[in-house]
């Protein structure tokens, strides 16, 4: 979705000879929507098509359960134990035909390179820091970063060592419907151009790859470079004798980037403003919002938590990353809630009264609203707080009122 950048060595005219140290570079057009969407033009030292072997590995399509069960859910990802590397450790918790939402608590290093050949990914780093080495150059990842990785990008995530001690945790929203993650068009001139004055973020907040190309030698397997390619619902092993990230330069608008949630300038109002003011990204049939630390509504009689609302057309997922979310009791950092379409949800009993004089919130939460129902996986049920759906009920209201009387 980003603006034009150029890194490294490229020829003056596209599709012309580009000599690098006496060798002809190999041009690759990395484009979306056929040849009609955004693209980058990449120059390799070796032919990107020179594959030594390709093998199908394991199927990774999630298996959903309880798809007809309608209830509000609370998943405690804080109870998930470290497992796997930043790719194999991703556990899909909720999903549908448009988006898969996974949590990862890695404790191993990625042995290879990775490419998601079927989906754009939006990763939110709850904790941990490190480097993402991509075919477009390196990105430094930090807590509270959104990392947007276009479909087809070769990359590798390396958290600072040791991973477990660094407490790496991240959530991934993968647009399995194949659509592209972008800023809301209403933030940009003509829907695709420069960020407008009323946008809560702009180009300066987007951290582009640094153009430092190449793969760390530690990524080699049996003397060859391996890319695990996710496509057709399975992982495939592609091996090369040359470094597939042997890029000397590129230009274009299709590249991965980081955006830190603390660079989102929250829009606040006299009275409660609905979630679209918190929107940060969107793809087909799913939007991503970011609730950042901010002043609360400033009307003297404002109700400072959201009113009860029915998501008539969408399921709502909230990931509570940091701080205290004033409208909910019983959730903590790492909690995920699912509030499905078909039933209303709203503030927990007592939270309206408790926040009447609150002037600001330190919450940091990421929301993903989907326009088709989400189903949980077995991994989600393993960390579910099954009492959550009834946590608004009257007996608890009475008990709380008595407690505060
Ligand atoms: Fe909501």
Q: Find the 188 Cα to ligand 1 centroid distance in Å.
A: 26
261-393 and 5-63+80-260 share a CATH fold: yes
pLDDT score at 40: 97
| CATH number of the structural domain 261-393 | 2.60.120.10
Topology adopted by domain 5-63+80-260: Jelly Rolls (2.60.120)
Q: Find the 339 Cα to ligand 1 centroid distance in Å.
A: 7
Q: Find the 309 Cα to ligand 1 centroid distance in Å.
A: 6
Q: Find the 346 Cα to ligand 1 centroid distance in Å.
A: 6
Q: Find the 367 Cα to ligand 1 centroid distance in Å.
A: 9
Question: What residues sit around ligand 1, an ion, with C-beta below 5 angstroms?
Answer: 316
pLDDT score at 325: 80
pLDDT score at 403: 60
Q: Find the 277 Cα to ligand 1 centroid distance in Å.
A: 13
Q: Find the 150 Cα to ligand 1 centroid distance in Å.
A: 28
pLDDT digits (tens, 9 = 90+) for 48-85: 999 999 999 999 999 999 999 999 999 999 999 999 99
Alpha-carbon 196 to chain mean position: 23
CA–CA separation, 167 vs 143, rounded Å?
Answer: 10
Q: Find the 325 Cα to ligand 1 centroid distance in Å.
A: 12
Low-confidence residues of the chain: pLDDT under 50: 401, 405
pLDDT score at 206: 98
Give me the residue spans of the domains in the chain: 5-63+80-260, 261-393
Burial class (CB in 10 A: 0-12, 13-18, 19+), 190: exposed
pLDDT score at 85: 95
pLDDT score at 217: 66
CB 112 within 8 A of CB 137: no
Q: Find the 316 Cα to ligand 1 centroid distance in Å.
A: 6
Q: If we measure between CA atoms, which residue out of 38, 44, 164, 179 comes closest to residue 109?
A: 164
């Amino acid at each position: 979705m980003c603006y034009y950048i150029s890194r490294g060595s490229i020829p003056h005219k596209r599709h012309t000879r580009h000599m690098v140290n006496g060798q002809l570079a190999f041009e690759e057009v990395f484009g979306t929507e056929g040849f009609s969407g955004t693209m980058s033009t990449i120059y390799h030292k070796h032919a990107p098509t020179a594959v030594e072997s390709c093998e199908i590995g394991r199927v990774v399509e999630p298996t959903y359960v309880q798809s007809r069960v309608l209830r509000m859910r609370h998943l405690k990802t804080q109870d998930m134990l470290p497992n796997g590397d930043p790719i194999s450790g991703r556990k899909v918790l909720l999903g549908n035909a448009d988006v898969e939402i996974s949590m990862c608590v890695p404790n191993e290093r990625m042995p290879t390179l990775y490419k998601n050949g079927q989906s754009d990914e939006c990763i939110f780093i709850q904790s941990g820091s490190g480097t993402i080495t991509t075919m477009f150059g390196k990105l430094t990842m930090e807590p509270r970063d959104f990392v947007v990785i276009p479909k087809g990008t070769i990359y590798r995530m390396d958290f600072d060592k040791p991973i477990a001690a660094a407490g790496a945790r991240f959530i991934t929203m993968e647009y399995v419907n194949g659509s592209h993650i972008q800023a809301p068009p209403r933030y940009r001139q003509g829907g695709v151009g420069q960020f407008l004055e009323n946008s809560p973020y702009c180009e300066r907040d987007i951290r582009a790859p640094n153009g430092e190309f190449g793969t760390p030698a530690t990524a080699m397997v049996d003397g060859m470079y391996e890319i695990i390619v996710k496509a057709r619902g399975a992982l495939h092993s592609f091996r090369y004798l040359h470094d597939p990230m042997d890029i000397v330069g590129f230009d274009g608008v299709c590249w991965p980037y980081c955006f830190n949630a603390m660079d989102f300038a929250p829009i606040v109002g006299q009275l409660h403003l609905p979630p679209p003011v918190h929107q940060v990204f969107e793809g087909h049939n799913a939007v991503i919002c970011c609730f950042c630390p901010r002043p609360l509504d400033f009307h003297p009689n404002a109700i400072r938590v959201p009113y009860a609302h029915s998501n008539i057309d969408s399921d709502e997922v909230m990931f509570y990353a940091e701080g205290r979310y004033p409208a909910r009791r019983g959730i903590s950092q790492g909690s995920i809630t699912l509030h499905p379409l078909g039933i209303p949800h709203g503030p927990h009993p007592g939270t309206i009264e408790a926040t009447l004089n609150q002037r600001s919130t330190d919450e940091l939460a990421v929301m993903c609203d989907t326009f088709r129902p989400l189903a949980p996986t077995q991994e989600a049920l393993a960390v579910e707080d099954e009492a959550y759906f009834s946590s608004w009920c009257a007996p608890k209201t009475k008990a709380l009122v008595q407690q505060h009387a």
